[in-house]
Amino acid sequence: MKAIVNVFLKPGVLDSQGKAVHHALSSLHFENVKDVRVGKQIVLQLDEENIEKAKKDVETMCEELLANTVIEDYTIEIEK
């Protein structure tokens, strides 16, 4: 089973990486980009058959290690 975790900064948290990418895109004449937010994706291969248990385990992983929940949100997608 595969779990895909997307971690991104909460709204209102300054995204300096996103600002740098936005500036670079602007300098490359991509003027139609209004804003950029940069996040990370973590793909986990799990040895688990129960989807609900897998999701709960990955949620715990996010809360304890994969995301800084003070400034970051995350989404979890489980694929069989």
Give the pLDDT of residue 42: 98
Domain residues for the domain of 49 are 2-79
Q: Give the 3-state secondary structure of residue 54.
A: helix
Q: Which of 10, 15, 20, 5 is nearest to 37 (CA)?
A: 15
Q: Give this prediction's pTM.
A: 0.90
Domain count, the chain: 1
CATH of the domain at 21: 3.30.1280.10
- Averaged pLDDT score across all residues of the chain: 97
Give the pLDDT of residue 6: 98
Question: pLDDT per residue over 6-16, tens digit each?
Answer: 999 999 999 99
